[in-house]
């Protein structure tokens, strides 16, 4: 896809959202069903069906997806698509781009054995390994800045949303 094709694709969407801002609102949703035979949850969506369970550092055997990995994979997906779209819009040529995300976690917090150890992933690092000999350093710097600005997952992690939890009885 080139920049003109991208603009043509997005122009009617942008026009609709400008005319009707409420149309731009979307509720994202995910769900899963707990498995009774082991500590995991089955996730099925329109793209995949899999079980997510304990990371090996928390007692898992490594055969199931780990939610921490899935969080970082969501960042890879969003940042990669955003980078690609922004590069296309800017007409920045590239031969290959690899998106790498790393994050640190201390399982002492997750396992409840050290109250001073955080529960969760900290120090997330997002890196783009870019082979783009025809792109200038200025173009690549702008591309990175705009990718950070428009990546939904990166912005969500940078400025966390409010989070509420609830338990609902069902019959």
pLDDT at 88: 96
What residues does each domain of the chain span?
66-158
pLDDT for 171 beyond 90: no
CATH T-level topology, domain 66-158: GMP Synthetase; Chain A, domain 3 (3.30.300)
Reported as a single tens digit per residue, the pLDDT across 122-161 is: 999 999 999 999 999 999 999 999 999 999 999 999 999 9
**Alpha-carbon distances of 49 from 7, 28, 52, 62, 70, rounded to whole Å:** 34, 18, 10, 17, 13
* pLDDT-derived band at 63, boundaries 50, 70, 90: very high
**Alpha-carbon distances of 103 from 12, 75, 133, 145, rounded to whole Å:** 38, 11, 29, 21
Reported as a single tens digit per residue, the pLDDT across 18-44 is: 999 999 999 999 999 999 999 999 999
- State the average pLDDT for the chain: 95
Please give the sequence-ordered ranges of beta strands (E in DSSP) within the chain, or none if there are none.
33-34, 40-44, 49-53, 96-105, 121-131
Please give the Cα distance from 132 to 90 (Å, whole number): 13
Reported as a single tens digit per residue, the pLDDT across 76-94 is: 999 999 999 999 999 999 9
CB < 8 Å & 24+ apart, contacts of 72-77:
72/101, 72/102, 72/103, 72/121, 72/124, 73/101, 74/153, 75/101, 75/124, 75/126, 75/151, 75/153, 75/154, 75/157, 76/100, 76/101, 77/153
pLDDT for 12 beyond 90: yes
Measured torsion, CA atoms of residues 48, 29, 71, 85, in degrees rounded to the nearest 10: 80
pLDDT at 161: 95
């Amino acid at each position: 896809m080139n920049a003109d094709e991208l603009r043509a694709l997005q122009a009617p969407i942008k026009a609709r959202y400008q005319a009707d801002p409420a149309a731009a609102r979307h509720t994202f949703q995910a769900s899963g069903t707990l498995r009774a035979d082991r500590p995991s949850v089955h996730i099925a969506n329109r793209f995949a069906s899999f079980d997510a369970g304990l990371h090996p550092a928390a007692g898992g055997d490594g055969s199931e997806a780990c939610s921490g990995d899935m969080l970082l994979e969501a960042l890879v997906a969003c940042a990669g698509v955003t980078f690609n779209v922004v590069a296309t819009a800017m007409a920045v040529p590239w031969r290959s781009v690899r998106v790498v995300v790393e994050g640190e976690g201390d399982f002492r917090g997750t396992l409840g054995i050290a109250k001073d150890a955080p529960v969760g992933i900290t120090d997330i690092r997002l890196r783009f390994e870019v082979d783009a000999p025809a792109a200038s350093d200025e173009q690549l710097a702008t591309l990175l800045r705009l990718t950070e600005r428009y990546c939904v997952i990166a912005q969500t992690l940078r400025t966390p949303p409010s989070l509420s939890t609830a338990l609902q009885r069902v019959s």
